[in-house]
Amino acid sequence: MSKYEDIVIESVNHVQSKFFTQEEIDSKMDEITDFDGNVDINALFSYIIELNTSYSATLLADTLERLSDNGLLK
């Protein structure tokens, strides 16, 4: 693998383990599920959009920081 691939893999692992844990996802799902186990579809779609947007932004920032730290950005 190239240095770039290694850095992206490191970033993915770091972001997933630190910012997007299963516990956080479970907690949010508990918030959008009522006592009968019904899921609020609007809240679910909002959460999916929020999760994907924040994951992408966090992963990009982490990757760019690692590339910069390794002298791979000009």
**pLDDT confidence bin for 73, thresholds 50/70/90:** confident
φ, ψ for residue 52 (rounded to 5)? Answer: -65, -40
Residue 18 resides in a domain: yes
**pLDDT confidence bin for 22, thresholds 50/70/90:** very high
Residue 57 resides in a domain: yes
Residue 46 resides in a domain: yes
Q: Looking at the 3D structure of the chain, how many domains does it have?
A: 1
Residue 14 resides in a domain: yes
Q: Which domain holds residue 40?
A: 3-69
What's the average model confidence in pLDDT over 41-67?
95
Residue 74 resides in a domain: no
Q: How far apart are CA 17 and CA 38, in angstroms?
A: 29
Residue 62 resides in a domain: yes
Residue 35 resides in a domain: yes
Note the pLDDT tens digit of each residue in 6-17. 999 999 999 999
